[in-house]
Amino acid sequence: MKIFADSACDLPKEFFNENDVELFTLRVHVNDKEYHDILDIEPTEVYDAMRNGAVPKTSQVSPEEFLNAFEELAKNNEEGIYIAFSSNLSGTYNTAVMIATQLKEQYPNFNLKVIDSKCASLGYGLVVKEAVALRNKGLALDELSSRVETFAKHMTHLFTVEKLDYLAAGGRISKSSAFIGGLLSIKPILHVEDGKLIPLEKIRGRKKAIQRIVEIMAERGGDFSNKTVGISHGDDLQFAEEVKAIIMDKLKPKSFDMTLVGAVIGAHAGPGTIAIFFTDKDYND
């Protein structure tokens, strides 16, 4: 069984090679050049450019990339699952569905599940990792896809950004809100609801925002003793380690998974972003 994922899952390049997961790359446009996310550009390069005033743009996976990979699967009579970046944040999922539907007409036995994870960054990455673990246990495609969808539905995202300007540049908030928020040192706490970015609360000061995020984690996550907590950061490892220590002290999760916020997500959230991911208390493995 083939597993496909796209670069918005913010997993490192070696993960795809080591776990036989095929990567679809979103594009990042920085200073008039286009790059394939993960393959051609490091997230730190994007953050450095943003610190120097660049306003990166991003674009979805090309239809040709889907067509080539899916047609090879169909020709080889293999089955597969593509877990996609949230359809409310990118057109990638819809493009994949369109290509898969076209191929089904040509190859009636083509068996590919295309799942809208409604997740982003390492929240999405943890869903991909769950799919790999389930495949390694030998689950059949139907059961695997059902369990992956359930896992994704229970994935909670909580994050805050260092500067509101980057969200404003990407059209996520108004420029006037960013200006006033900057003056008052407002740090928004955002989450992902039905695959969309939704502001949750506004807190003054970064450390207070993190303290509030940990409180929300306790409310939404319940017992963390058997949970993995994902932390992704916008090129600020030192602060991410501080956040990890706070979470460990308060909630004592089973394990952590830490990574950089990738180039595509980072192009909108900016340097200094801190994002936390975990399954909610209603999820039972």
DSSP 225-250: TT-EEEEEESS-HHHHHHHHHHHHHH
CA distances from 75 to 4, 71, 79 (A): 16, 6, 10
Q: Return d(Cα 21, Cα 3) in angstroms, integer.
A: 5
Q: How confident is the model at residue 177 (pLDDT cuts 50, 70, 90)?
A: very low
Given this model, what pLDDT does residue 262 score?
96
pLDDT at residue 232 greater than cutoff 60:
yes
Given this model, what pLDDT does residue 178 score?
41
* Average pLDDT for 268-278: 93
Given this model, what pLDDT does residue 24 score?
97
Given this model, what pLDDT does residue 180 score?
41
Average per-residue pLDDT in the chain? Answer: 91
Name the amino acid, one letter, at 164. L
Q: How confident is the model at residue 165 (pLDDT cuts 50, 70, 90)?
A: low
- Top pLDDT among 204 and 146 is at 146
Structure-token match 């108004």, residue found: 174
| 3-state SS, residue 150 | helix
% of the chain exceeding 90 in pLDDT? 79
Q: Return d(Cα 55, Cα 163) in angstroms, integer.
A: 14
Give the containing element (helix H, strand E) for 5: strand 2-6
Q: CA angle, corner 16, sides to 14 and 17, nearest 5?
A: 65
For 247, the token pair is 């979470």
Name the amino acid, one letter, at 146. S
Residues 30, 56: contact at Cβ < 8 Å? yes
pLDDT at residue 168 greater than cutoff 70:
no
Q: Which residues contact 226 (CB under 8 A, 6 or more apart)?
A: 254, 285
pLDDT at residue 19 greater than cutoff 70:
yes
* Average pLDDT for 153-179: 66
Q: How confident is the model at residue 190 (pLDDT cuts 50, 70, 90)?
A: confident
pTM over 0.85: yes
Given this model, what pLDDT does residue 132 score?
98
Q: How confident is the model at residue 194 (pLDDT cuts 50, 70, 90)?
A: confident
Q: Which domains does the chain have, with CATH numbers?
A: 2-24+61-153 (3.40.50.10440), 155-279 (3.30.1180.10)
pLDDT at residue 182 greater than cutoff 70:
no
Q: Return d(Cα 81, Cα 259) in angstroms, integer.
A: 24
Q: Return d(Cα 274, Cα 144) in angstroms, integer.
A: 30
pLDDT tens-place string over residues 59-72: 999 999 999 999 99
